[in-house]
């Protein structure tokens, strides 16, 4: 990053390949190509937009106001009507990748993700997904700032010299709690001047380190462990009305489809009752996928076994790389209706590929 380049919206330092400002979320015009993914923090490249098929239920062409075709182009004037923020992909390495998409119903993408990985498959990765609360202002900015803030902290937090597996897990969990707090502070800092309300978002993060995945959660974005063979797991519990109903004995399908089910009980941002991340860990004792996602995906495949079967089907159809598989899952969610923004981030555990 060079001091010579500054965001025109807030004055923060930016890189020549940036398509948005990670400080304020403002859109930029990149002047260089995005570096190839060879490990490290994946620049959030909003210039590469793979568009969904099917009808687009959203705003018209920004140039002439005409209706857009399904691929986001304008048949009247020929302009590209898909805002860069609506769909972006990250591929920091061969074994980590993700896709963030607006979906078919919402007029803007309030999801965000930020990824980091070592180039060596399976060594270390950070996956962060945040889902902006639609009823709060500037939640698209909040999710971006929260995701990148947490990713940056977790990519630097590398505990070493831990004497036991328990102390290693505890140290990684502590980093996730701190990342959640830092993300919450970053979200609070972008409250609009003179506004009594502030932006809000969820938080789901996973640190994959060798044979261990440690996760942190606030809200209803999720982390799953989906082994190729063996029982899959949803890691942790949602902070939501639906989760409270499940805990009270209501079956999952009924709880998640009932009125008010998606109301969250904790979040990042003003007035949240608690912003300490719920943490936990799972051993990665066989090949599989660590998947972090927003509810735009799990709305259609909430049960871990259902999601595992979906992943197997997409892999069987040829989507074997993490970014390719994430894109296939996003496309599938759009085919189911795309009612919400959709984000899928994946890390391959136990083996670099099939």
pLDDT in tens, 84-93: 789 999 999 9
Within a domain: 230: yes
How far apart, in whole angstroms, are the C-alpha atoms of residue 175 and residue 103? Answer: 32
Count of domains for the chain? 2
Within a domain: 40: no
Output b/e per residue, 13-38; b: 16+ Cβ within 10 A.
ebbeebbbbbbbbbebebeeebeebe
Same domain, 301 and 211: yes
Q: Which residues contact 19 (CB under 8 A, 6 or more apart)?
A: 27, 28, 29, 30, 44, 45, 46, 47, 84, 88
Same domain, 22 and 109: no
Same domain, 84 and 188: yes
CB 244 within 8 A of CB 291: no
Same domain, 117 and 188: yes
Within a domain: 45: no
pLDDT of residue 68: 56
Within a domain: 225: yes
Within a domain: 56: no
pLDDT(161) > 50: yes
Within a domain: 269: yes
- The more confident residue out of 169 and 52 is 169
Mean pLDDT of the chain: 84
Same domain, 311 and 241: yes
Same domain, 115 and 19: no
Same domain, 110 and 201: yes
- The more confident residue out of 210 and 26 is 210
Same domain, 194 and 96: yes
pLDDT of residue 14: 66
Boundaries of domain holding 28: 1-33
Output b/e per residue, 261-285; b: 16+ Cβ within 10 A.
bbebbbbbbbebeebebbbbbbebe
pLDDT band at 73 (very low <50, low <70, confident <90, very high): low
Q: Is the pTM of this model over 0.75?
A: yes
Same domain, 168 and 223: yes
pLDDT of residue 54: 36
The CATH number that applies at residue 329 is: 3.60.40.10
The region, left, alpha or beta by phi > 0 then psi within -120 to 50, assigned to residue 205 is: beta
How far apart, in whole angstroms, are the C-alpha atoms of residue 8 and residue 18? Answer: 13
CB 237 within 8 A of CB 174: no
pLDDT band at 253 (very low <50, low <70, confident <90, very high): confident
Within a domain: 236: yes
Q: Which residues contact 34 (CB under 8 A, 6 or more apart)?
A: 17, 43, 45, 47, 48
- The more confident residue out of 338 and 82 is 338
Tokens representing 246 are: 């499940």
Within a domain: 223: yes
How far apart, in whole angstroms, are the C-alpha atoms of residue 177 and residue 102? Answer: 28
Which residues sit opposite 90 in a β-bridge? Answer: 98
Same domain, 17 and 135: no
Same domain, 28 and 85: no
Q: Which residues contact 50 (CB under 8 A, 6 or more apart)?
A: 87, 89, 99, 327
Q: For 228, which DSSP code?
A: S
**Which segment of 56-70, 78-92, 146-160, 233-247 scores lowest on mean pLDDT?**
56-70
How far apart, in whole angstroms, are the C-alpha atoms of residue 198 and residue 187? Answer: 8
> What mean pLDDT comes out for the span 298-324?
97
pLDDT of residue 341: 98
The string of pLDDT tens digits covering residues 53-66 is: 333 334 455 555 55
Same domain, 170 and 246: yes
């Amino acid at each position: 990053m060079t001091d010579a380049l500054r965001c025109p919206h807030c004055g923060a330092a930016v890189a020549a390949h940036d398509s948005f400002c990670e400080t304020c979320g403002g859109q930029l015009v990149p002047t260089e190509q995005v570096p190839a993914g060879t490990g490290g923090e994946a620049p959030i490249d909003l210039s590469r937009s793979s568009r969904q098929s099917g009808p687009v239920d959203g705003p018209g062409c920004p140039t002439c106001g005409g209706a857009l075709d399904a691929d986001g182009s304008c048949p009247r004037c020929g302009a590209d009507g898909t805002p860069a923020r609506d769909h972006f992909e990250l591929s920091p390495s061969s074994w980590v990748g993700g896709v963030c998409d607006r979906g078919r119903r919402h007029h803007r993408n309030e999801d965000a993700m930020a990824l980091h990985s070592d180039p060596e498959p399976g060594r270390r990765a950070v996956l962060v997904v945040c889902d902006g609360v639609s009823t709060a202002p500037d939640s698209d900015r909040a999710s971006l700032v929260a995701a990148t803030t947490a990713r940056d902290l977790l990519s630097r937090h590398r505990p070493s010299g831990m004497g036991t597996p328990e102390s290693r897990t505890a140290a990684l969990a502590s980093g996730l709690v701190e990342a959640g707090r830092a993300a919450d502070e970053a979200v609070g800092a972008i409250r609009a001047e003179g506004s009594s309300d502030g932006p809000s978002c969820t938080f789901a993060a996973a640190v994959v380190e060798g044979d261990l995945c440690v996760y942190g959660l606030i809200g209803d974005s999720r982390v799953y462990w989906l082994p190729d063979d063996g029982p899959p797991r949803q890691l942790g519990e949602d902070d939501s009305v639906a989760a409270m109903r499940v805990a009270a004995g209501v079956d999952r399908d009924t709880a998640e489809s009932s009125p008010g089910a998606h109301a969250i009980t904790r979040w990042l941002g003003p007035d949240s009752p608690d912003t300490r991340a719920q943490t936990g860990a799972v051993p990665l004792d066989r090949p599989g996928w660590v998947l972090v996602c927003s509810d735009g995906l799990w709305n259609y495949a909430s049960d871990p076994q259902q999601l595992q079967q979906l992943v197997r089907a997409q892999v069987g159809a040829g989507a074997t790389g993490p970014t390719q598989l994430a894109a296939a899952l996003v496309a599938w969610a759009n085919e189911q209706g795309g009612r919400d923004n959709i984000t899928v981030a994946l890390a391959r555990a136990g083996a670099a590929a099939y």
